[in-house]
């Protein structure tokens, strides 16, 4: 479904967009961890947005 100059993304483009989104979230999380995030703060994030932060649950044991 093309509308003017608006082209649909290929499956490959959608895949790499999803990979970039995942990498950006990983990078942001590592920055928060480096800047002193606590285990309690991570637990709150996981509770608030489990679909985003639950994959970092194993970090709870590693954070202060």
Question: Which pTM value belongs to this model?
Answer: 0.77
**Among 56, 59, 16, 23, residue whose Cα is nearest residue 39:** 59
Distance (Å, whole) CA 11 – CA 18: 11
Residue 6 counted as domain residue: no
* Per-residue pLDDT tens digits for 14-49: 999 999 999 999 999 999 999 999 999 999 999 999
Residue 7 counted as domain residue = no
Indicate the number of domains in the chain: 1
pLDDT at 4: 59
Mean pLDDT, residues 47-57 taken together: 97
4-13: pLDDT as tens digits: 567 899 999 9
Residues 25, 6: Cα–Cα separation, whole Å: 27
Please enumerate in sequence order all residues whose Cβ is within 8 A of that of 45, keeping only pairs 6 or more positions apart, or say none. 52, 53
Provide the domain limits for residue 31.
13-61
pLDDT of residue 24: 98
pLDDT of residue 21: 96
Place of tokens 């608006």: 6
């Amino acid at each position: 479904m093309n509308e003017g100059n608006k082209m649909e993304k290929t499956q490959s483009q959608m895949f790499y967009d999803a990979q970039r989104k995942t990498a950006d979230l990983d990078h942001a999380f590592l920055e928060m961890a480096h800047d002193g995030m606590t285990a309690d703060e991570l637990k709150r994030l996981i509770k608030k947005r489990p679909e985003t932060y639950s994959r970092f649950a194993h970090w709870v044991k590693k954070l202060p």
